[in-house]
Each structure stands twice: as structure tokens, then as C-alpha cells.
């Protein structure tokens, strides 16, 4: 009986000082191709390289933590993964995963990325082909000096860090409710969504939806929706002109500052398109 009385505390101490397994990185697998869907072989992904088919596999990584210290925290640790993607002749990128409680996942965690499209450093784009008969979402800065555009299918295409950063820049200009530090929208407007459809005759359709602060916080105010037509033109291979009668703040000429398969950033050029 005496031995048992001493044995129980010892067992408790041993249990609390034991270790618990935490996830540092799930097993990650996928395929890397160029924009013509050709496999990119010998591409560095984290500590491994792609094979001749562009396939890669990163094994699951785990670490041990004392059970007692984890019990004191009372929650699973965060998970942050940052695996660089590097290949000569291509724009470097990275696989970024973040989950504030992801470190608590059990052994066998997996993340299947499917296909990653890697951009060549000298990648060329046909701007008209990207625009015509395509659906785009648009956001712009307070003075319409910079426009961010996302093409339909962006969410399925975007698997890596660079495009996700672009999306964050786009979203910060559309949503002052979620991005409370952003003061981009006019007074009282809490969200603004703009959808564009570019047509082959250099016309297009625009839908603008505005949500108001009172819609979310009361008293209720209905959202505004504007549906209108617009004109667009390509001055040259990297300059777009907009003429939107009911949305005059973007009726200017814009230089393509950055471009990718499903995203585009435009910068306003000097001069007023309406006067041309």
C-alpha cells in the first residue's frame, strides 16, 4: 500500500514530463509545369527537386514537445510552412501554409497541391487574348491611380505565395469591413465589388455593387447595384484605355505594371482619357 502511494505520484510526473508529437510540415506533393503545361524538371522545392514529370514530394516533418508545457498553453501550436520554389530561367515562388492551430494534426497529415504553374522570367502575354470574352474582377485605390484585376478561375489557379500576396492587395481595396485599417472606400461604403466582361468589339459590361456600413451595423441600408456598359481599347501592347460613363474615376489610360495568367496590375498614365 505504501509503495502504491509513492508510485502514483511518480507515474503522474512521468506522464507530464513525457512528449507529445506536433506537426511541423504535412507531406506535400504536386506537379510543377510551365505556362504551356510542360513539366519543369530539376526544380528545387524545399529540400527536394522535381523529377522528369515535374512531380515532387516533401515528407511529413514532426517534432516533440513536453506534454506539461503543451497543457499549460491549452491549445495546439501554429503551423507555418515556407518552402521555396527555385529554377533557373523561372520566377522564384514559394509554397506557404499557415494554420494558427495546425500543429496539432495527427501523424499522416498530407497536402496535395496538384498543379503549380511556374512563370518564365521572359514570359510573354497576349493582352487582348487575356481580356476578350473573359470575366474579371477589379479593385482600385482611392484616387484610381492603381487598378488590381483578377480573372475568373484565379482561385483555382493560385497555389503559391506570389499570387496570394496579389490577392491580398486586391482584397484590401474592396473590403473595408474585413480590412479595417484600409480607408480606401468613400465615407459610409464598407465593401465595393466590380465585375467586368470584356467583349471583342472593344465594349464591355460592368457591374458595381456597394455595401454600406449601416447594412452591417444597422440601421439597415440596402446595397447599391450599378449595371452599365463601357468602352475599352489597347493603345499598344501594354496600355489599356477605359471609358466608363457612370464610373468616371477609372476612365483613363493605364499602363500594365504587372501581368500574369489570372492577374493584372495597372498604373494610371498622365493625361485624361475623356479629353482625347
Q: DSSP secondary structure string, 139-197? A: EE-TTSSEEEEEETTHHHH--SHHHHHHHHHHHHTTBTTTSTT---SPTTEEEEEEEEE
Predicted local confidence at residue 276, as pLDDT: 47
Count of H-run helices and E-run strands, the chain: 6, 17
Predicted local confidence at residue 12, as pLDDT: 47
d(CA 116, CA 54): 10
Interior CA angle at 58 toward 57 and 64, to 5°? 150
Predicted local confidence at residue 17, as pLDDT: 55
Q: Which residue has the cell 482561385?
A: 155
The architecture in CATH of the region 16-117 reads: Sandwich (2.60)
Average pLDDT per 10 consecutive residues for the chain, totaling 276 residues: 48 57 94 98 98 98 70 72 97 95 89 96 95 96 95 96 96 82 78 95 95 72 90 94 88 96 96 52
- Burial category of 67 from C-beta neighbours within 10 Å (exposed 0-12, middle 13-18, buried 19 and up): middle
Alpha-carbon radius of gyration of the chain: 26
pLDDT tens digits along 20-62:
888 999 999 999 999 999 999 999 999 999 999 999 999 999 9
N-to-C CA span, the chain: 99
Q: Where are the domains of the chain?
A: 16-117, 127-275
Predicted local confidence at residue 52, as pLDDT: 98
Predicted local confidence at residue 241, as pLDDT: 96
Cβ pair 222, 214 in contact under 8 A: no
Residues contacting residue 169 through CB under 8 Å, at least 6 positions apart? 148
Q: What's the grid cell of residue 190?
A: 464598407
Instruction: Write down the pTM of the prediction.
Output: 0.83
Predicted local confidence at residue 189, as pLDDT: 86
Amino acid at each position: 500500500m505504501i509503495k502504491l502511494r509513492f508510485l502514483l505520484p511518480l507515474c503522474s510526473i512521468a506522464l507530464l514530463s513525457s512528449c507529445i508529437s506536433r506537426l511541423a510540415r504535412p507531406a506535400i506533393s504536386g506537379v510543377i509545369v510551365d505556362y504551356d503545361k510542360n513539366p519543369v524538371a530539376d526544380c528545387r522545392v524545399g529540400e527536394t527537386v522535381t523529377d522528369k514529370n515535374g512531380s515532387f514530394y516533401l515528407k511529413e516533418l514532426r517534432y516533440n514537445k513536453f506534454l506539461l508545457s503543451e497543457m499549460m498553453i491549452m491549445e495546439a501550436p501554429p503551423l507555418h510552412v515556407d518552402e521555396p520554389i527555385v529554377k533557373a530561367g523561372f520566377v522564384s515562388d514559394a509554397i506557404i501554409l499557415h494554420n494558427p492551430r495546425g500543429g496539432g494534426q495527427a501523424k499522416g497529415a498530407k497536402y496535395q497541391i496538384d498543379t503549380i504553374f511556374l512563370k518564365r522570367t521572359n514570359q510573354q502575354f497576349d493582352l487582348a487574348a487575356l481580356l476578350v470574352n473573359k470575366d474579371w474582377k477589379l479593385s482600385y485605390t482611392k484616387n484610381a491611380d492603381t487598378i488590381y484585376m483578377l480573372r475568373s478561375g484565379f482561385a483555382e489557379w493560385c497555389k503559391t505565395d506570389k499570387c496570394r500576396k496579389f490577392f491580398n492587395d486586391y482584397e484590401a481595396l474592396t473590403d473595408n469591413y474585413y480590412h479595417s485599417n484600409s480607408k480606401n472606400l468613400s465615407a459610409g461604403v464598407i465593401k465595393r465589388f466590380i465585375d467586368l466582361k470584356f467583349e471583342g468589339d472593344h465594349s464591355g459590361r460592368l457591374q458595381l455593387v456597394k455595401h454600406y456600413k449601416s447594412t452591417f451595423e444597422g440601421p439597415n441600408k440596402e446595397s447599391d447595384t450599378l449595371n452599365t456598359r463601357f468602352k475599352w481599347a489597347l493603345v499598344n501592347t501594354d496600355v489599356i484605355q477605359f471609358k466608363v460613363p457612370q464610373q468616371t474615376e477609372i476612365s483613363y489610360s493605364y499602363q500594365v505594371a504587372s501581368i500574369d495568367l489570372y492577374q493584372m496590375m495597372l498604373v494610371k498614365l498622365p493625361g485624361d482619357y475623356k479629353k482625347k
